[in-house]
Amino acid sequence: EGVRFEKCFSPGTWTIDSVTSFFTGLSPNAHGMFRTHYRIPASMSVLPELLREAGYSTALFTQNPYLN
């Protein structure tokens, strides 16, 4: 099975702000990850943690150094 998205938009212009938006549900203006911070602050809730609390297991496999 699969899903086709005909209109997709990135909330940011590069990996850090875009992925932070994906993980937090916040816009780059709200989370403030503008090429100056390289770690999501512990005070922000992120999707994998919320899913873990709901009983799910998650994993990320990447070679992108910004996502380690």
Distance in angstroms (rounded) separating the CA atoms of residues 32 and 26: 9
pLDDT of residue 47: 93
Distance in angstroms (rounded) separating the CA atoms of residues 7 and 54: 30
pTM of model > 0.85: no
CA distances from 4 to 1, 7, 8, 47 (A): 10, 9, 10, 22
* Tens digit of each residue's pLDDT (9 = 90 or more) over 21-46: 989 999 988 888 876 667 788 888 99
34 vs 56, which has greater pLDDT? 56
Distance in angstroms (rounded) separating the CA atoms of residues 19 and 65: 13
- 10 Å Cβ neighbour count for 63? 6
Distance in angstroms (rounded) separating the CA atoms of residues 64 and 37: 16
